[in-house]
Amino acid sequence: MAMREQSVRMRYTLGPFVVLTFIYFVVGFLTTVNGQFQGPMKVAFLSHASELRNTLTTMISFFFFLGYLVNSGLGGRWIDRVGYKSTLLRALAIMTCGLLLYSLSSWVVERWSGSYVRLGSDLVPWGYFIFLAGSFMMGTSAAVLQVVINPYVSAYDLPGTRPVQRMNIVCAVNSVGTTIAPFFVTGVIFAGVAFEAVRPGQLLVPFLVIAGTIALLALVTSRLPLPDMAHTRASGEESLPRSVWSFRHLALGVAAIFFYVGTEVAVGVNVNLHAMQMIESGRPLSFFGLGNIEVWGLNLGIPALLATLYWGGMMLGRLVFSFFSRIPPRRLLIIMTSAASVVILLAMVLDNLWLLVSVGLLHSVMWGCIFTLAVAGLHKYTSKASGVFMAGVFGGAVFPVAQGMMADWIGNWQWTWSIALLCELFMLYYALWGCRVTDREALDHLRAVAPSDPG
């Protein structure tokens, strides 16, 4: 008995939690790096496009999140078949391949600079399509990694923490990656040059270095102990009698995350394009009178600063709320979605981008709240539920592109933020009514193991 208790104590040590938290940092960093390429790629890859320029630019995010829709279920199947650790290593291998495709796209555009595909009246280089393929693989890897990390962290009973608190901690570290990513793109990959002067060849070496780093991370992870989590997945060939879609609160949770990631990504990646349009049209856009921001001699610009403030607000909110374990996730989601709806409405009417990026602080806890509410009481269905849950991340592909198309249609970005507002209102509906657990099996398990968590 004493040996069994000692084994349990050893199982829930800090090590595995730290490893997964760091990988979540990598996911956040590279997700935002991918999105921040919209501005530079608009100049470097799409200089011969005009009619569909905004639409083609936002396709970078579309293909990234298409990976979530197409392959998120793959993660759940792999977890049931080979376990959490092996699935994690497979995802890191896919991420390495995606990064290598980024480098290849740069090489192709530089090597065959006159080779284009005609789309209507626009000319698009072949390297652009290779970059989209890399973006798809990066989205696939990010989806599988989150299918592993979300249920693992939620079930990993680290002493002194609750599921929603652990989710907020890893999301806070994830936000550190998203916060530094815009400056990494402008200050490292493009060496601080102005957007209008960027060259595709500047992608080659940085992404080769990052690919090597991810490969090293996979090697280190393969040698670390990462215990499996009981009761969160089907064992071996065990078949589950029900479809995960039969749980109403999960199905609506997938819809809620679809709208959440849609508005999160739309603000994070399209605020750059809105800022660039304002600057090009001669409208004033400064930060306390500063037209440009310099860090260590690098001219980083207002668009990068806006993105950093947005992702930085998410990081700050997650760090702060990781210390609040007693606020029920449902109540927190109601408060945050209500406030975010008001802020986005005001920012749109006033056409104020500084107000718009402040919504990042309100977005900070929504992911953890929605996931915790959606998988409440699912027991052995948890790993499969995590897979279908991640399919909802495809909202990050749909809404930014819809916004880009709307911007091309009406000729400006100001009123396109109505799309983000609609997303907030659906999440408010989920918080008020959609998250209620009505299924008898889920209710019985919830009362048995965590009667107060879903709150």
Give pLDDT, residue 1: 40
Q: Which residues of the chain have pLDDT under 70?
A: 1-13, 38-44, 46-52, 113-114, 159-161, 163-164, 191-198, 228-241, 284-301, 324-325, 440-455
Give pLDDT, residue 422: 96
Amino acid in the structure at residue 27: V
Give pLDDT, residue 174: 82
Give pLDDT, residue 432: 94
Q: How far apart are CA 407 and CA 77, in angstroms?
A: 39
- Joined tokens for residue 181: 């990513």
Buried b / exposed e along 320-336 (16+ C-beta atoms within 10 A)? ebbeeeeebbbebbbeb
DSSP summary character for residue 433: I
CA proximity to 393, closest of 138, 116, 97, 95: 138
Give pLDDT, residue 5: 40
- Joined tokens for residue 50: 């005009």
Q: How far apart are CA 68 and CA 137, in angstroms?
A: 10
Q: How far apart are CA 40 and CA 268, in angstroms?
A: 15
DSSP string, 301-344: HHHHHHHHHHHHHHHHHHHHHTT--SS-HHHHHHHHHHHHHHHH
Tokens 């990050």 identify what position? 396
CA proximity to 198, closest of 189, 208, 206, 209: 189
DSSP string, 144-202: HHHHHHHHHHHH---TT--HHHHHHHHHHHHHHHHHHHHHHIIIIISTT--GGG--GGG
Percent of the chain with pLDDT over 70: 78
Give pLDDT, residue 415: 94
Phi first, then psi, for residue 118 (nearest 5°) are -90, 125
Contacts of 213 (CB under 8 A, 6+ apart): none
CA proximity to 407, closest of 117, 57, 135, 65: 57
Is residue 234 classed as helix, strand or coil in its secondary structure? coil
Reported as type and span, the H/E element at residue 125 is strand 122-125
182, β-bridge pairs = none
109, β-bridge pairs = none
Q: How far apart are CA 93 and CA 428, in angstroms?
A: 37
CB 370 within 8 A of CB 257: yes
Phi first, then psi, for residue 133 (nearest 5°) are -65, -40
Give pLDDT, residue 343: 96
Give pLDDT, residue 285: 61
CATH architecture of 2-449: Up-down Bundle (1.20)
CA proximity to 281, closest of 410, 193, 411: 411
